[in-house]
Amino acid sequence: MADHMNIRELIDTLRRKDIEEEWFEFKVNYAEPQKIGEYLSALSNSAALSHEEYGYLIYGLDDSHHEIVGTGFQPKKAKGKGNEDLEPWLTRLLDPRVDCTIEEAEINGARVVVFRVGAARERPVRFSGVAHIRIGSNNHKLADYPEKERKLWSIIHPVLFEEGIALTGQSSDDVLTKIDYPKFFELMKIPLPDNRAGILKRLEDEKIIQKTNDKYSITNLGAILFAKNLEDFPTLTRKSLRIVIYDGDGRLNAKKEHIVKSGYATSFESTIDWIYDQVPSNEIIKDALRVEQKMYPKVAIREVVANALIHQDFSITGAGPMVEVFSRRMEISNPGKPLISPDRFIDHPPRSRNEKMASMMRRVNICEERGSGIDRAIDGIEFFQLPAPEFLADQDFMRITLFGHQNIGEMGKADKTRACYQHCCLRWVCRDYMTNATLRKRLGIDDQNYPMASRIIKDTMDQGLIRLYDPDNKSNRTRKYIPFWS
């Protein structure tokens, strides 16, 4: 059983969400045993669909305003049907026997109860023989939603994208025509073999191709990373990186569009250079000279684009990664919800649904093994004193927005608290602490305006994003702060 602090942190995290998501549900007292079992089935299956480890049924919270109001429900004393104790009755009727625990705590004088159910693993979780699913905030029978059921099965028993086949029945000439093998050997920093057999053998060893009798298949891994032209691979054409340059801040006037048709690895460096060339510049004074400076640091563009390519969900058809450059912002998006919460992008060890692809990208130095790409992007943005990027995750896409320079007076409250939280995270992962002084430096606030920084810190604390490291220190100017999850 988790301790009370863990329950508090969980509830604080879920309460911050604008609406209930399909993998958690708030209740006050309604506790009909059959409905609880159906909720657990639905939450387990929906957690798997949302790439969450657990689903949660939480008693003691108002589902409209997410206020902690307390509950009178006592599951340890409740009964299932047939006068059987509720907990073993629920466990017995859940199939397969998914991990399910009941935890209780008191928060601000109010009693809360948390049912924690593991995400579906082997097959959809049924209760009393029927599988359920959440659609919005309501429970439904999974069989009534065949698209959801197919997607759930694909998640529970996935065929790894990288191991799939992009083209079959290829001759050796076909392989060497469609795969940019000289670039592959260059990026891998290994000598190019002096004969065809040696080239093909190395490509086969690296899972770029597979040999069957006298023919070859080109894998999705080989094609998406090293294709000369992704249009040669019908199932991957829509996964080409699309870059659109707009005139102004809206999408009405696109002045330039570029689709990167070659593989991600072979084209990455040139693609980043091309994007960087399109980024607007600002005129600044440096060493008494007027110079042009790009709106965003190149390291931030590089890391965020690499993140979009590597972590996309290839099972979502008809959509691919995209970079959109506006006059005062840049949006980088990819299909698929991230496997970790955007709140934890800065500190969390990397998790990718495309591990083989990520591994290959690391080997060719496009991303790093330790998963510090977003950290490096944030560090570069802070160095330029730009607004904090916005991370937006939905069920079917992820979007990161980089913003052009703004003075502190131009930033809204959300911009300031987002910058404060990300700065606090970055200091923490660097084994340091955020203070009023470090935040002033980050946001370009004059030292005499330290009360402004104090206000931003208070607003960020009120949102539950940061907390005091040293509560006994009463000086706002010297207090230290750490992220809520630390």
The tens digit of pLDDT for each residue in 393-437 reads 886 899 999 999 999 999 999 999 999 999 999 999 999 999 999
Neighbours of 148 (CB within 10 A): 20
Distance from the Cα of residue 297 to its chain's centroid: 22
User: Final residue of a domain: which of 353, 373, 403?
Assistant: 403
List of residues 6+ apart from 163 with CB closer than 8 A: 207, 219, 220, 221, 356
Average pLDDT over residues 29-42: 94
Q: Is residue 86 part of a domain?
A: yes
List phi, psi (to 5°) of 213.
55, -120
Q: Cα–Cα distance between 338 and 423 in angstroms, integer? A: 21
- Same domain, yes or no: 197 and 252: no
Hey, what are 391's tokens? 């991370």
Of 106, 132, 156, the last residue of a domain is 156
Regarding beta strands 397-403 and 390-393, do their DSSP bridges make them parallel or antiparallel, or are they unpaired?
antiparallel
Global pTM reads 0.74
Q: What is the pLDDT of residue 193?
A: 96
Q: What pLDDT, on the 0 to 100 scale, is given for residue 370?
A: 56
Mean pLDDT computed over 300-306? 96
**Residue 204 phi/psi, 5° resolution?**
-70, -40
Contacts of range 14-21, beta carbons closer than 8 Å, 24 or more positions apart: 14/56, 14/58, 14/66, 15/61, 15/66, 15/68, 15/464, 16/463, 16/464, 17/66, 19/137, 20/63, 20/137, 21/50
* Residues 377, 275 within the same domain: yes
* Distance from C-alpha of 54 to C-alpha of 120, rounded to nearest angstrom: 9
Are residues 109 and 13 part of one domain?
yes
What pLDDT is stored for residue 348 in this prediction?
77
Band (pLDDT 50/70/90 cuts) for residue 289 is low
For residues 422 and 410, what is the distance between their CA atoms, to the nearest angstrom?
19
Q: Are residues 248 and 271 in the same domain?
A: yes
pLDDT of residue 249: 93
Q: Does one domain contain both 362 and 254?
A: yes
CATH number of the structural domain spanning residue 104: 3.30.950
User: Looking at residue 291, what is its pLDDT?
Assistant: 65
pLDDT band at 287 (very low <50, low <70, confident <90, very high): low
Report which of 373, 362, 387, 385 is spatially closest to residue 438, judged by C-alpha positions.
Answer: 385
pLDDT at 373 over 60: yes
* In a domain? residue 361: yes
Output the pLDDT for position 340: 82
Three-state DSSP state, 55: strand
pLDDT at 284: 62
Half-sphere exposure of 117 (CA within 13 A, CB side): 35
Task: Quote the pLDDT of residue 353.
Answer: 80
Arithmetic mean of pLDDT, 44-72: 92
- Domain range for 463: 419-483
Q: How far is 171 from 231, CA to CA, in rounded Å?
A: 18
Asked, for residue 410, whether it belongs to a domain, the answer is no
Spatial distance between the Cα atoms of 259 and 240, rounded to a whole number of angstroms: 7
Mean pLDDT value across residues 82-106: 91
Residue 409 lies in a domain: no
Q: Specify the amino acid at residue 11.
A: I
**Weakest mean pLDDT among 257-266, 285-294, 430-439, 471-480:** 285-294
Query: Do you know the residue count of the chain?
Result: 486
* 260 and 323 both lie in a single domain: yes
Please, what is the average pLDDT of the chain?
A: 91
Read off the pLDDT of each residue in 275-285 and give the average, rounded to a whole number.
Answer: 83
Same domain, 395 and 426: no
CA distance linking residue 401 with residue 332, whole number of Å: 6
Which pLDDT score, from 0 to 100, does residue 369 have? 53
Average pLDDT over residues 150-161: 82
Lowest-pLDDT choice from 2-16, 131-145, 384-398: 2-16
- Considering the domain architecture, whether residues 148 and 176 belong to the same structural domain is answered as no
Please indicate, yes or no, whether residues 151 and 178 belong to a single structural domain of this protein. no
Together in a domain, 327 and 450: no
pLDDT for the residue numbered 157? 73
In whole angstroms, give the CA distance from residue 304 to residue 387.
15
331 strand-pairing partners: 324, 401
How many independent structural domains does the chain possess? Answer: 4
Predicted confidence (pLDDT) at residue 325 exceeds the cutoff of 60 = yes
Is residue 413 domain-resident? no
User: Per residue in 35-74, is it b (16+ CB within 10 Å) or e — as a string?
Assistant: ebbbbbbbbbbbbbbbbbebbbbbbbbeeeebebbbbebe
Model confidence at 3, pLDDT cuts 50, 70, 90, reads very low
| pLDDT for residue 121 | 86
CA dihedral 118, 120, 124, 127 (to 10 degrees): -10
Chain segment 159-200, per-residue pLDDT in tens: 788 999 999 999 999 999 999 999 999 999 999 999 999 999
**C-beta atoms surrounding 331 within 10 Å:** 18
Q: Which residues, listed in sequence order, are joined to residue 59 by a DSSP beta bridge?
A: 27, 113
**What pLDDT does 371 receive?**
55
Q: Is residue 200 domain-resident?
A: yes
Model confidence band, residue 83 (pLDDT cutoffs 50, 70, 90): confident
Question: Per the domain annotation, does 235 fall within a domain?
Answer: no
How far apart are the C-alpha atoms of 456 and 466, rounded to whole Å? 11
Last residue of a domain, one of 175, 209, 230: 230
pLDDT-derived band at 288, boundaries 50, 70, 90: low
pLDDT of residue 475: 84
**Domain co-membership, 383 together with 245:** yes
Instruction: Establish if 412 belongs to a structural domain.
Output: no
Residue 292 sits in the same domain as residue 214: no
